[in-house]
Amino acid sequence: MLTKVLYIDLSRYRYSVEDRRDLFEEWIGGTGVAVQLLKENMNPEIDPFDEESTIVFAVGPLNAAYPLASKTVAMFKSPLTLNIGESHAGGRTATSIANAGYGAIVITGKSKKPVYIVVNNDKVYFRDARVIWGIEDSLIVARIIAENEKGRGTRSVMRIGGAGERLVRYACVTTETYRHFGRLGLGAVLGSKNVKALVVNGRGSRKIVDRKAYREVYDEIFNLATESDAMKKYHLLGTAVNVKPLNEKKGLPVTNLKFTSSEYAEELSGESFAEIIGRRIACSHCPVACIHIAALRLPYENEPYFYKTLMLSYDYELIYALGTMLGMKRKEDFLKLLYRVEAYGLDAMTTGVCLAWATEALEKGLISEKDTIVKLEFGNSEAYCEAVKYLIHQPNEFYRILAQGVERASEVYGGKEFALAFGKNEMPGYHTGYAAHIGYLIGLRHSHLDNAGYSADQKMDSYPEPEQLVEKLMKEEQWRQVLSSLVVCFFARGVYKPDIVCRALRPVGMEIEEDELVERGKKIYFEKLRLKKAMGFNARELRVPERIFETETPHGKLNKDYIERAIEYFAGIVENC
């Protein structure tokens, strides 16, 4: 079992390691343990940029032991929502942390000067980052650090770009070029601590209790991952396969959700992007290789016969947020914007929703071109590329406010009815029905991945009473606490069913029965909910943007009363937990 916790104190440039078997036995790992470590190490009422604000990275018992267990959970207080920040990233993050021998890394304090942290197996180093502070392209930052540090192939370089340095409240942390701790602003929290990057290099192993059983259950999982249909969607076109069916069903948000289908959906579909796939890449220890990379070949502006080729990873959420939501007409336009957003290290989903709101606010005259500097209009990629630069440099009051998210921007400038944030987190790409929207509202991270309401919508012909729908979504979210404590990729939820999870845990030293496992997920869920309350969450204050009632869904137009009843029911659960 991975039970060691590495504590890094940036204020004193010290570190220590503790064996926290107690935590890992009770709370499994990942999300379960991260909630406890955050509770232990941070006052929940603190400002996310305060010196005492804490970041936890946690892995679990299946990481580096089984395929598809490739995720790390980051937990912190979100500067975007001022509530729980939790985001998951793959790449080599999880295997590097696990192979370095840690179950979790806790980062506290604040460095006086810019540093990057290097965890090299059992040692921690604080490196001078003054020279690389100010490099806004996160890819360049990573290349420089990779030249300086050991561990080619066994390290993860988790870094921020210009967005994190400038405290954009939805700055992400990028790792292995194409993976992100994307949502809720972890990049800004690292930036506030003067940390440009966290490098973790791990090259160890851990002992197996029963070699034979280990190989057997490993092979079973491997075969399910490679031969069954469980991972097929991700292995073939990837999540971008969703564009066409959602467009046909009228569940695809287009131009700030004024519409739910677009004549350009075909151009922005998974099938269309497949024509320009340059290569595929995998997270460490995952045979699926779901990372689809488009090759964008662009001529030099002023010289004939010179080309550069940008390699950009895309998936459904990015196509939605920076594509359909902004009325993009051509995939090249979308990719050019994506390139900017990636380089600066912004969360693509929040950025897209913010820009979509700003475009409509400009159309309606709530803001002027004096505010936006460039004329934002749906489909105008160049203008959006400029605007992204302004989000980083914040040359005026408008961009300083838009860098705080769409909730804040609409508080200042109006247009709340079309400011598409739920629990202050910008909307994901599904306008599929009640379950999606209620899911965003009641999900503890306000993410579509909390409870997959979008999936429930697509499986239901008619809806139960709102209270029952809330129960259904909560049940899914509770099971997902188990998955994110192990920590396996949510894409592998079709492989990691309770039975196989229990059998996989035994050889790595954890005996647990199926019922108990499910119960553990419920316990973790309520621990997280209580932490959310301690950070000030009140379900009755949840705002529902009017726009979602105005636009057609695959289930027709939504009724406000149904969603209000769902919130009321959930508020009762929150109060009594």
Which residues in this chain contact other proteins in the complex, by CB under 8 A? 64-65, 67, 95, 98-99, 121, 139, 142-143, 146, 152-154, 176-178, 203-208, 211, 214-215, 218, 222, 226, 279-287, 289, 291, 293, 311, 508
- Shortest CB 153 distance to other proteins, Å: 4
- Shortest CB 238 distance to other proteins, Å: 13
For other proteins, which is the closer residue by CB, 19 or 369? 19
Please report which residue ranges of 276-423 form alpha helices under DSSP H: 316-322, 331-344, 348-363, 369-372, 381-393, 397-402, 406-413
For other proteins, which is the closer residue by CB, 127 or 206? 206
For other proteins, which is the closer residue by CB, 53 or 70? 70
For other proteins, which is the closer residue by CB, 154 or 247? 154
- Shortest CB 377 distance to other proteins, Å: 31
CA atoms within 13 A on the CB side of 274: 14
Residue partners of 244: CB distance under 8 A and separation at least 6: 265, 266, 269, 270, 271
- Shortest CB 220 distance to other proteins, Å: 13
- Shortest CB 65 distance to other proteins, Å: 4
Residue partners of 131: CB distance under 8 A and separation at least 6: none
485-521 CB burial, b ≥16 within 10 A, e <16: bbbbbebbbebbebeebbebbebbbbebeeeebeebb
- Shortest CB 227 distance to other proteins, Å: 10
For other proteins, which is the closer residue by CB, 95 or 242? 95
- Shortest CB 282 distance to other proteins, Å: 4
Report yes or no: 230 and 149 within 8 Å, Cβ to Cβ. Answer: no
- Shortest CB 225 distance to other proteins, Å: 8
For other proteins, which is the closer residue by CB, 39 or 280? 280
- Shortest CB 287 distance to other proteins, Å: 4
For other proteins, which is the closer residue by CB, 290 or 529? 290
End-to-end CA distance of the chain: 31
Cα gap 500→52, rounded to integer Å: 40
Cα gap 291→314, rounded to integer Å: 8
Residue 370 token pair: 């004096």
Residue 66 token pair: 């089984």
For other proteins, which is the closer residue by CB, 182 or 429? 182
Secondary structure of 73-86 in the HEC alphabet?
Answer: EEEEECCCCCCEEE
Cα gap 185→86, rounded to integer Å: 9
User: Interior CA angle at 255 toward 252 and 258, to 5°?
Assistant: 80
For other proteins, which is the closer residue by CB, 13 or 222? 222
* Full DSSP string of 438-503: HHHHHSTT--HHHH-HHHHHHH-SS---HHHHHHHHHHHHHHHHHHHHHT--GGGTTT--HHHHHH
- Shortest CB 211 distance to other proteins, Å: 5
Hey, is 255 helix, strand or coil?
coil
For other proteins, which is the closer residue by CB, 74 or 291? 291
Sequence letter at residue 550:
E
**Strand 115-120 relative to strand 123-128: parallel, antiparallel, unpaired?**
antiparallel
